[in-house]
Amino acid sequence: MSRRDVSLGRRSLLMRAGLAVLGAGLLAGCAEGIGDGGTLLDGRTRLPPLAAAPPAGHATVQMLPFTGIPVTIGDGIYHRFRERAKETGIELVHRLDEPAHFRIQGHFVAIGHETSTTIIFTYEIFDAAGRRVHRIVGQEVARLTDGDPWSRVDTEVEERLAVRAVRAIKAWLTRAAT
């Protein structure tokens, strides 16, 4: 490998790292500008409180619609999330008008690189009163992109994103219950 190849490889690595940091910043900014009628969901403000109290017993979770992601990909991740959540014992509330102990809002950003696409995700977890109580941030890599970075998010990537979300949420629920 020539010095030029090594130099290009380092530049590419630095550029990807910089883009990942930028994407995380974008997600944080997105999370602050999303809400009901322009309300900020930045931890200082709240989601609207639930109309009814959640049922007694172990914690129930409600996934709110995802933002920043094409609907078809978001649906694929959500359906895989539901399957994995059931396997791990996370009790999901499926209808938005049903009460749950925790509501989770997922935000996504896709960044295309020369050789791959990086999907950066943030899951904001809110309690029944609408206060943000936890944030999960991570990233997943998809194959080489050709224009639209979302174009390379296939069922395998959707599965990995769903599994990572279920594991992180289950771990947090386990810690929160103790």
Q: What is the pLDDT of residue 97?
A: 75
pLDDT tens-digit series, residues 13-35: 445 545 444 454 544 444 444 34
List helix spans (H) across the chain.
Answer: 3-32, 71-88, 155-177
Q: Assign 105 a pLDDT band (cuts: 50, 70, 90).
A: very high
To the question of pTM greater than 0.85 for the whole model, the response is: no
What is the C-alpha to C-alpha distance for residues 116 and 113, in angstroms, rounded to an integer? 5
The yes-or-no verdict on residue 77 having pLDDT over 90 is yes
Q: What was the pLDDT predicted at 102?
A: 93
CATH 3.30.160.150 matches 3-177? yes
Domain extent listing, the chain? 3-177
- Separation of alpha carbons 98 and 60, rounded Å: 10
- Summarize the confidence of residues 146-154 as an average pLDDT: 86
